[in-house]
Amino acid sequence: MRIVVLGVGNILLSDEGVGVRAVEKLQRDFVLSAEVEVIDGGTTGMEMLEDLACADHIIIVDAVLGGHAPASIVRLAGEQVPVFFRTKLSPHQIGLSDVLATLELIGEQPGGVTVIGVEPVSLETAMALSPQVEALLPEVVSLVVAELRQLGVAVKCIAAQAA
């Protein structure tokens, strides 16, 4: 089994960087089994084609503009994900939708895709997340961990190991 956790976003635009910050926290706070590959996708697109090819599952973490209240967490899976890409909720979707479409075209599409998104509070130029979105990071990472465990992946908290 091969699972990819992909954090995407532009860390120069405040909450737009939530996906990148979430995967950084995931790697800091948890030990993941070998079948999980964590990727900081930043603002890349087609460059990720090889990294995502033939994955059994991809978990995408990103800022989403879905009309929810600011600092809301959104989870999309299965058939909801193509709708996510059609409605252009994030600046990365053109790149990600192109990558996923290309993977399908060449027969290397993932077995499944889950999107964990956060409705941004601010997209202003700033390296830090807004305080509201920063406060959500533990919950976002917990959702990623829950997805991994649901997929049968062993995940250990580093703090629990130290105790």
pLDDT of 44: 80
pLDDT of 92: 52
Record the tokens describing residue 158, joined without a space. Answer: 């580093």
C-alpha distance from residue 85 to each of 12, 40, 115, 162 (Å): 23, 20, 10, 41
Q: Which residues pair with 31 in a beta bridge?
A: 156
Record the tokens describing residue 74, joined without a space. Answer: 């959104």
pLDDT in tens, the chain (163 residues): 999 999 998 999 999 999 999 999 999 999 999 999 999 988 787 788 889 999 999 999 999 888 899 999 999 898 777 656 655 555 555 567 778 888 888 999 899 999 999 999 999 999 999 999 999 999 999 999 999 999 999 999 997 555 4
Q: Are 22 and 138 in contact (CB under 8 A)?
A: no
pTM > 0.85: yes
pLDDT of 83: 59
Report the CATH fold assignment for 3-162: Rossmann fold (3.40.50)
DSSP 76: E
Domain ranges of the chain: 3-162
The alpha carbon of residue 111 and the mean position of all alpha carbons in its chain are separated, in whole angstroms, by 16
pLDDT of 93: 54
pLDDT of 95: 67
pLDDT of 103: 86
* DSSP H or E stretch at residue 26: helix 18-29
